[in-house]
């Protein structure tokens, strides 16, 4: 059976209102964007309700609209849309951030280490800086006093996978760890990592670029 890949790009072409701490997007424009997006998904995903129910999707869409009405920034809007689309659980429907947001959230925010799941725990698997090498092989307990279990649970809600496969979602989280930290914890600032082998901190964003990465 031929699989249909439906990629929803969050084209946030809305008016901006400058807030004290962040840029809040125009609520009416975002609600219009949400309506276009949900209509597009319903009209172009022929087997959508094989994976989820109409009632569940409509309820999540309503919750997303209610959140938007409180006033949201571009990262928060993308986060809400991403969780809505990923909730379908088909594994081939995605919500991509705009190129500008993706650049802001990922490309310039490389972390000088990598992570990997082992038996549901998240470990520092590789270090690019000597000061982080002692923590390789140790599980991350919390980041900025937020339990890693909470960060992982929320992050996995953004990742689309067939049947909501945790293994596929976990791999996506490992590969885009810095993106989800920025999305959920924000920046700039300092990230404090508590591990089973001690604690270390990383400035965020960093000026570090992974070896061999194309910019």
User: Which tens digit of pLDDT belongs to each residue from 13-51?
Assistant: 333 333 334 678 889 989 998 998 888 888 888 788 888
In a domain, 36, yes or no: yes
pTM over cut 0.75: no
Report d(CA 170, CA 114) in Å as an integer.
13
Q: Are residues 89 and 112 in the same domain?
A: no
In a domain, 72, yes or no: yes
Average pLDDT, the chain: 79
In a domain, 1, yes or no: no
Each as own residue / partner, the long-range contacts of residues 155-161 (CB below 8 Å, 24 or more positions apart, any chain) are 155/180, 155/183, 155/184, 157/83, 157/86, 157/87, 158/79, 158/82, 158/83, 158/86, 158/183, 159/86, 160/85, 160/86, 160/88, 160/89, 160/90, 160/91, 160/92, 160/93, 160/94, 161/86, 161/89, 161/91
In a domain, 215, yes or no: no
Q: Are residues 54 and 124 in the same domain?
A: no
CA-nearest of 103, 64, 78, 86 to 12 is 78
In a domain, 213, yes or no: no
In a domain, 212, yes or no: no
User: Which tens digit of pLDDT belongs to each residue from 144-197?
Assistant: 999 999 888 888 777 766 655 677 778 888 888 887 887 777 666 788 999 999
Boundaries of domain holding 119: 108-204
User: Which tens digit of pLDDT belongs to each residue from 161-171?
Assistant: 665 567 777 88
Q: Are residues 113 and 185 in the same domain?
A: yes
């Amino acid at each position: 059976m031929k699989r249909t890949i439906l990629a929803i790009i969050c084209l946030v072409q809305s008016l901006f209102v400058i807030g004290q701490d962040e840029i809040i997007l125009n609520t009416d424009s975002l609600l219009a964007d949400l309506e276009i997006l949900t209509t597009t998904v319903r009209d172009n995903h022929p087997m959508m309700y094989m994976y989820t129910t109409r009632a569940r999707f409509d309820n999540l869409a309503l919750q997303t609209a209610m959140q938007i009405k409180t006033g949201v920034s571009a990262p928060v809007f993308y986060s809400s849309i991403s969780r809505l689309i990923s909730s379908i659980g088909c594994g081939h429907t995605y919500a991509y951030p705009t190129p500008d947001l993706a650049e802001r959230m990922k490309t310039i925010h490389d972390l000088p280490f990598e992570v990997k799941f082992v038996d549901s725990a998240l470990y520092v698997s590789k270090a690019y800086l000597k000061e982080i090498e002692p923590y390789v092989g140790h599980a991350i307990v919390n980041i900025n006093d937020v339990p890693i279990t909470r960060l992982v649970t929320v992050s996995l809600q953004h990742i689309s996978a067939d049947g909501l496969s945790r293994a596929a979602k976990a791999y996506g989280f490992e590969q885009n760890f810095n993106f989800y930290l920025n999305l959920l914890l924000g920046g700039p600032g300092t990230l404090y990592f508590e591990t089973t082998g001690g604690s270390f901190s990383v400035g965020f964003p960093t000026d570090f670029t992974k070896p061999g990465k194309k910019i």
